[in-house]
Amino acid sequence: MRAFLVVMDSVGIGGAPDAGSYFNDGHPDTGANTVLHIAEACARGEAEDGRSGKLHLPNLDALGLGRAVELASGTLPPGLGAAPRGLWGAATERSKGKDTPSGHWELAGLPVPWDWHYFPDTQPAFPADLMAKVCEIAGTEGTLANCHGSGTVMLERFGAEHLRTGWPICYTSADSVFQIAAHEESFGLDRLLSLCETIAPLLHKRKVGRVIARPFVGQEGHFTRTANRHDYAIRPPEPVLTNWVQEAGGTVHAVGKIGDIFSMEGIDALHKGDDATLMSHLGDLVDNSGDGSLTFANFVEFDSLYGHRRNVSGYARALEWFDAELGRLLPRLRKDDMLLITADHGNDPTWRGTDHTRERVPVLVAGKGAGCAGQVGFADVAASVAAHLGVAARGAGRSFL
């Protein structure tokens, strides 16, 4: 008996009851719906770059994706809506955030017990004492940016100046994050990681969720971020699903940025790489992981490459790629395995601005028969995984199995 918990990062399905309290570019998230709006754009012929036609997700839809979107938001996406052969539902978040830690912590059984600190969308965005500490640790006379912005834009605006001065590029977003970008060769990858690790406790005391190292390479006009990103996140203040399973004797595999999100709490083995590499790791674990194990995976590129960049065609391609890979994984599951696919928030590529969108998320389960789980909470995911593994749950959720 094994459990596979897979997060399709940012694949929201609309309908969050409090979406009006969350904003993108000054406008509320009311009506945002990542899957629905991608499907509608595909059906209109507006997502033809590298793919064509209606959104084609036969495996996710067979598990209940189309019906989950309808349950969450009241609208069935074009091209979806098959009679589900899996257990399906829609999950609503309780935590006050639409970010990675909030979503993942609550999916693991722990609604965030505090309000995150967010930096103001002003320039400068950061307090002087914090920037002085960054300079002290980095050994530089100053920093660059000190504002809100997209990572790729920060490289375009400040990359060349960074090469000339050696000053780190410090920026944030609508999430509770402090990000530092630096050139892997001229500044040094180890130096960047050390800077982020050293400054992180100061940010965590202020309830900033993550300090993120954003290394890049290249020359002016041709800068590229590398896969050596590292997140330094606040440790969960209470045991979560990974701890529950580990303490019960099960092995916990973290695929993707799960290790960073939970600061390696309750994690035995770490598997990293781009999404294609992560899918290969997930396949190996489906074939070879031991009885009683939990594999907790995050596929981030829906969010990082396509959602934030408002790339509808790219997001649709990524969904169709994932669906095809899922079709190869499902027949390899053992008879008593459970695979649960969900998301941590939305990032509607048709929406205003470039930030996450506050949405409900799908809950799609293979290995537990067919049926509707209904409207559930994020924390119910952890309780259900624990129930499948026969592990005592200590979180806020209730099993829907």
pLDDT of res. 341 = 98
For residues 277-291, give the mean pLDDT. 98
345 is in an annotated binding site: yes
For residues 25-33, give the mean pLDDT. 96
For residues 306-326, give the mean pLDDT. 97
- Summarised one tens digit per residue, pLDDT across range 35-72 is 999 999 999 999 999 999 999 999 999 999 999 999 99
- Summarised one tens digit per residue, pLDDT across range 220-249 is 989 999 989 999 999 999 999 999 999 999
Do the beta carbons of residue 66 and residue 33 sit within 8 Å?
no
d(CA 159, CA 181): 9
The C-alpha torsion from 254 through 256 and 259 to 260, rounded to 10°, is -170
- Summarised one tens digit per residue, pLDDT across range 369-390 is 999 999 999 999 999 999 999 9
115 is in an annotated binding site: no
| Contacts of 208 by beta carbon, 8 Å cutoff, 6+ apart | 116, 117, 119, 176, 177, 178
Strand partners, 217: 224
Do the beta carbons of residue 4 and residue 271 sit within 8 Å?
no
- Summarised one tens digit per residue, pLDDT across range 149-202 is 988 899 999 999 999 999 999 999 988 999 999 999 999 999 999 999 999 999
Q: What is the pTM of this model?
A: 0.91
9 is in an annotated binding site: yes
pLDDT of res. 175 = 87
49 is in an annotated binding site: no
> In b/e form, how buried is each residue of 129-141, taking b as 16+ CB within 10 angstroms?
ebbeebeebbebe
- Summarised one tens digit per residue, pLDDT across range 138-147 is 999 999 999 9
> In b/e form, how buried is each residue of 353-379, taking b as 16+ CB within 10 angstroms?
bbbbbbbbbbbbbbbbeeeebebbbbb
Q: Which fold has domain 128-233?
A: Alpha-Beta Plaits (3.30.70)
Q: Whole-number mean pLDDT of the chain?
A: 96
308 is in an annotated binding site: yes
pLDDT of res. 275 = 96
The helix, strand and coil proportions of the chain, stated in percent and rounded to the nearest 5, come to: 35, 20, 45
**What are the structure tokens assigned to 172, written together?**
């944030």
d(CA 211, CA 263): 12
Q: pLDDT band at 214, cuts 50/70/90?
A: very high
For residues 66-90, give the mean pLDDT. 97
Q: CATH code for 2-113+237-389?
A: 3.40.720.10
Whether residue 316 is predicted with pLDDT greater than 90 in this model: the reply is yes
d(CA 90, CA 212): 30
**What are the structure tokens assigned to 51, written together?**
């793919």
Domain extents in the chain? 2-113+237-389, 128-233
230 is in an annotated binding site: no
Whether residue 396 is predicted with pLDDT greater than 90 in this model: the reply is no
